[in-house]
Amino acid sequence: MSDIDKTIKIDAPIGRVWAALTNAEVMSDWMNDDTVKIDLRIGGRYTIFSGETSGTFTVIEKPGFLEYTWRQREWRATWADSIVRWELYPSGKGTQVHLTHSRFPNDEERVSHDEGWDMYWLEPMKDWLESEDV
């Protein structure tokens, strides 16, 4: 089964993009989700989307590389966690963002997440980071 690979350019400095991925207060703002919890350390846990998604941080290399497990609450207990990897690169005054999501339990979850990353994560994060109000 193939991975999800997405690359976008965000017109915001790498430090702000990093904060949007790792700081609970910042993430809560752009996600409109006041239930975000983040313990940003190797082995630390996070929960988002009112606890529907959770995982554990496995790699943290500020400000360019972040990796964590990803699990949906409704997934069967026998399904392994999937893996999310973020790579951030300075690009002019902005940031090149590369997302990889791998190890899905089945094709249905992969297809669902492919669209979900755009609708619920990348587009709103980009819009929020590029808005003049931030």
Question: Residue 24 to residues 46, 80, 92, 94: CA-CA distances in angstroms?
Answer: 9, 25, 27, 22
Place of tokens 């963002």: 97
Task: Give the pLDDT of residue 116.
Answer: 94
77: domain CATH number is: 3.30.530.20
Task: Give the pLDDT of residue 134.
Answer: 57
Domain that holds residue 102: 4-130
pTM, 2 dp: 0.95
Domain count, the chain: 1
Question: Residue 102 to residues 9, 10, 50, 94, 113: CA-CA distances in angstroms?
Answer: 21, 23, 23, 26, 10
Task: Give the pLDDT of residue 133.
Answer: 64
pLDDT tens track, the chain, 134 positions = 789 999 999 999 999 999 999 999 999 999 999 999 999 999 999 999 999 999 999 999 999 999 999 999 999 999 999 999 999 999 999 999 999 999 999 999 999 999 999 999 999 999 999 996 65
Task: Give the pLDDT of residue 55.
Answer: 98
